[in-house]
Structures are given as structure tokens and as C-alpha cells.
Amino acid sequence: MLAINEIFETIQGEGVFTGVPAIFVRLQGCPVGCPWCDTQQTWALNDDDQIDPAQMILKTGDTPAWSSMTAQQVLQLFSQQQYTAKHVVITGGEPCMFDLREFTTLLHQQGYRTQIETSGTFEVRCDPATWVTVSPKLDMPGGYEVRADAMARANEIKHPIAMQKHVDALDALLSRCPVQEGTTICLQPISQRPRATQLAIDICRQRNWRLSVQLHKYLAIA
């Protein structure tokens, strides 16, 4: 069973798949505690907040209400909602708190491409064909360490930065937890601040990394 906070269709606004139509499946529960998190409503997984899937799909605001659904039920909901996107982003919360192997394999069998967005603090359990985006969360209040096996599984590293110390922290992490050859590294300026954006541009040019600019925030789309 998956604890789902919301499901919606939009455009992927970050990382390698920026601009791609996507179905977002946001899971409930995250103990990492990132101070700047913009989905703090997904942190707590309380029984009192559980609602029916029919209510969940009608949510219009950010609330901690969540539904328990099987992988097959989620797929059926995609059909009921008449979604046309074929790229499914599994996010959170922290999606890797859940075993996602059955869900991602089922989606692939039905012609979808899958992507997981994770903090790298839990084991990544998914289909081998799933694109894994690790946004490593270092020294967060929850006290969880970024795992070497999560970094090694990553197809993409997406790292938020505001200052040079954040770049230095990523360098230290990559030295301690190497990624596989060919992994894309994206730098993402925190909150679109001009200074952070220029730093990210400069580092990306120096190292042939990739800039992630959170397109959805610039365009004010969900």
C-alpha cells in the first residue's frame, strides 16, 4: 500500500526532464526535516489524516490528508482522470520510505516512464528502469545521512545551492559517495535568488554540469 498525499498532472519543472508533461504522485511521510521544504504538509503520516481516494483526488490545497492505495488503484485513477502524460514522477515527502518495486514495474508494463525524487537518505527500491533523481539532503534536522547506495543508484543528482559552502558540501559528498559514470549533476539555485543563480551558472560552466531553474516557479504553474 502507498500513502498518497496528492496526484496531479502538470509539467515537470526541474532537472533533466524539465518541460516534460508528467503525472506527479506525492507520497506522505518524511522524517528528514529540510527547513526550506515547500511540502511540509507531507511530513507526518497520521492515521487521523487518512481519507478516501475519491476525496484525495479532489484536494485543492496543501493539507496532510492522505489516502492508502495499491499500485493497481493508482493506475486505475490515472485512467479515470484521463491523464495523457506518460512520465510519472514519484515524490514526497520521502518516497523511498516505501518499497516502490511493484508500483514502478507495473507502470512500465503499462507504457509509462517513471522517475523518483528522493533525498538519498533511504534505500532506493524500484524497477531497474526507473530514473532516480537524488537531491541529497545534508545535515538536516532529522539527522539522516545520505546513503552511498542511493548515490550510486542515482541517474541524476539535483543539488540546491545558495552559497559556495553548498557546492563544497556536494564535492565532499561526491568524494565520499561516488556516483556512476554518466550521472547528470544539476545545480538548483535556492528560491531563485540572483546571487545563488549566478553561482550555479558559474559552477555549471566550469564543470560542464547542468542548471536546474525550477521552471514551474518562474511560470507560476502547479
Q: 204: annotated binding-site residue?
A: no
Is 136 a known ligand-binding residue? yes
115 is in an annotated binding site: no
Reported confidence tier of residue 139, pLDDT bands at 50, 70, 90: confident
- How far is residue 182's CA from residue 103's CA, in Å, rounded to a whole number? 26
> What is the phi/psi pair of residue 197, to 5°?
-65, -45
Provide the pLDDT for residue 141: 84
Has 96 been labeled as part of a binding site? no
The residues spanned by each domain of the chain are 2-219
What CATH architecture does domain 2-219 belong to?
A: Alpha-Beta Barrel (3.20)
37 is in an annotated binding site: yes
Q: What is the pLDDT of residue 214?
A: 65
Q: What percent of the chain has pLDDT over 70?
A: 95
177-184 average pLDDT score: 97
Q: What separation in angstroms does the CA of 145 have from each of 82, 149, 171, 176?
A: 39, 11, 16, 12
92 labelled binding-site residue: no
